[in-house]
């Protein structure tokens, strides 16, 4: 690589890094309007989804009552199944940090982490905020319902390809028990409209035309089902009407993190100090190579932040933050391994550029194995049910992947870019010939 080309590449990468840093850490309003509105940009860090230990949590307390006819002896089991079902519904909507507990002697407490904006709160309220038993009727006043929550076998969202419109069509399927197929067919024999109610409130209505529901299955279609996720939300909303207990909201609202207000700030400050110490260590110990490593590490941090905030299931709790530090330790150690190897070769009177080349190929297996090993650990942790371990697993998995990219590709490129400026003078990297190395 020529010196001129190296200079150009350094300028390009520096500009890229500045953009990455701004995207990661700076919030701003766009200096132009779209349809007369100003829009603001929210950085990667503020988009990170935080767990309930360090971030805001939405909490709902429900009083859970037995439906008529249920034996009191089953109450505890029904309360467990209801809280587990609520948790499942929220998780299938993409809320990864959900806890459900029995509260007092007759209530259920649901806590959902990752609350960033008021929209997130509204979404949860829309989904599970007012659960009431579902019923189906052909009358608009919900008189003589022909089926209820207990008659439903399963509800799910699916899609099929419509050849006429040449597009996917999204459908919510409500499958009833075999026992009520005939009664549903009788009730809907004349076709018409089916009204779906939650308690006494109408949720939606469907026009059957002149056909009856003959096989005990309702296929709900709507123009609002623009994607499978939207259809799935409606399916989940229907599921909240099928819970074993009747729920009444007692209390709801956003609460501060369990580790205290400002806990995330303190942890972030501690992490920043740790990262800064890592940078200083590399620069002091390897001078020019240290600067190169820091340049690379900044890419590592920003790419990791980008991925962590964009993958929907990732949420950061305290364990995740520790995972961030562990991945940082591993990548710094990879740099140290490469530079130490180069130092060793330089010590035996090898030229700097040869020493760097040999060091990179000699440490290839070690760094590769180390990062893949960490990735495997992350993957194993992802499969565990504990939220803390899952968060750790996600962070470690994503960051070891980025680490591989930075060590195996970016580092090679940056060293190639550096060598035209200094291919012989090891002193600039704190290397000494003939056994003078510390």
Give me 328's structure tokens. 């940082």
Cα–Cα separations (whole angstroms), residue 208 to 50, 214, 219: 45, 11, 10
Stretch that binds other proteins, among 2-10, 192-200, 388-396, 409-417 (CB under 8 A): 388-396
Give min distance, CB of 337 to other proteins, in A: 8
Half-sphere CA count of 402, side-chain side, radius 13 A: 22
Nearer to other proteins, 241 or 278 (CB): 278
Q: Does 350 interact with other proteins (rule: CB under 8 A)?
A: no
Nearer to other proteins, 241 or 257 (CB): 257
Give me 95's structure tokens. 């809320």
Stretch that binds other proteins, among 15-23, 65-73, 146-154, 262-270 (CB under 8 A): 262-270
Given 253, 354, 423, 424, the residue binding other proteins (CB under 8 A): 253
CA distance 146 to 213: 11
Stretch that binds other proteins, among 9-17, 31-39, 147-155, 311-319 (CB under 8 A): 311-319
Q: What is the DSSP letter of 167?
A: E
CA distance 358 to 368: 16
Mask 53-92, x = binds other proteins (CB under 8 A)? x---x-x---------------------------------
Half-sphere CA count of 204, side-chain side, radius 13 A: 12
CA distance 138 to 199: 15
Stretch that binds other proteins, among 4-12, 226-234, 260-268, 346-354 (CB under 8 A): 260-268
Q: Does 281 interact with other proteins (rule: CB under 8 A)?
A: yes
What DSSP letter does each residue of 326-393 carry, written as one string?
HHHHHHHHHHHHHHHHHHHHHHTT--HHHHHHHHHHHHHHHHHHHHHHHHHHHHHHHTSS-HHHHHHH
Q: Does 131 interact with other proteins (rule: CB under 8 A)?
A: no
Best CA proximity match to 227, nearest among 235, 217, 218: 235
Q: Does 9 interact with other proteins (rule: CB under 8 A)?
A: no
By CB under 8 A, name the binding residues for other proteins: 53, 57, 59, 99-105, 107, 109, 253-263, 266-267, 270-271, 273-274, 277-278, 281, 317-319, 322-323, 325-326, 329-330, 333, 336, 366, 369-370, 373-374, 376-377, 380-381, 384-389, 391-392
């Amino acid at each position: 690589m020529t010196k001129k080309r190296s200079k150009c590449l350094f300028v390009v990468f520096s500009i890229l890094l500045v953009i990455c840093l701004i995207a990661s850490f700076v919030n701003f309003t766009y200096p132009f309007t779209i349809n007369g509105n100003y829009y603001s940009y929210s950085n990667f860090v503020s988009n990170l989804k935080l767990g309930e230990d360090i971030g805001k949590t939405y909490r709902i307390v429900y009083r859970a009552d037995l439906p008529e006819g249920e034996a009191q002896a089953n109450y505890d089991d029904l309360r467990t199944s209801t809280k587990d079902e609520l948790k499942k519904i929220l998780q299938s909507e993409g809320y990864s940090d959900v806890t459900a507990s029995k509260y007092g002697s007759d209530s259920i407490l649901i806590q959902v982490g990752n609350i960033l904006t008021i929209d997130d709160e509204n979404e949860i309220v829309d989904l599970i905020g007012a659960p009431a038993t579902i019923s189906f009727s052909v009358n608009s006043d919900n008189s003589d319902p022909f089926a209820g929550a207990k008659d439903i076998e399963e509800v799910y969202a699916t899609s099929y390809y419509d050849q006429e419109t040449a597009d996917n069509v999204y459908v919510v399927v409500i499958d009833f028990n075999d026992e009520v197929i005939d009664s549903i067919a009788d009730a809907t024999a004349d076709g018409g409209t089916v009204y779906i109610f939650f308690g006494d409130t109408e949720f939606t209505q469907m026009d059957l035309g002149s056909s009856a529901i003959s096989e005990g299955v309702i296929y709900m279609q709507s123009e609002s089902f623009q994607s499978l996720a939207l259809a799935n939300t409606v399916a989940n909303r229907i599921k909240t009407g099928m819970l074993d207990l009747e729920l009444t909201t007692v209390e709801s609202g956003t609460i501060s993190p369990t580790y205290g207000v400002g806990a995330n700030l303190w942890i972030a400050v501690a992490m920043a100090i740790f990262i800064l110490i890592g940078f200083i260590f590399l620069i002091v110990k390897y001078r020019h190579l240290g600067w190169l490593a820091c340049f690379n590490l900044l890419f590592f941090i920003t790419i990791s932040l980008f991925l962590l905030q964009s993958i929907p299931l990732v949420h950061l709790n305290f364990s995740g933050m520790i995972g961030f530090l562990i991945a940082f330790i591993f990548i710094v150690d990879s740099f140290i391994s490469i530079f130490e190897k180069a130092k060793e070769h330089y010590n035996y009177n090898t030229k700097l550029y040869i020493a760097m080349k040999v060091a990179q190929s000699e440490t290839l297996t070690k760094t590769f194995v180390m990062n893949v090993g960490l990735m495997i650990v992350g993957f194993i942790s992802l499969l565990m049910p504990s939220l803390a371990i899952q968060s750790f697993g996600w962070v470690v998995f994503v960051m070891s992947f980025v680490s591989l990219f930075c060590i195996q590709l970016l580092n090679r490129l940056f060293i190639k870019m550096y060598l035209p400026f200094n291919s012989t003078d090891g002193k600039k990297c704190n290397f000494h010939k003939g056994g003078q190395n510390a």
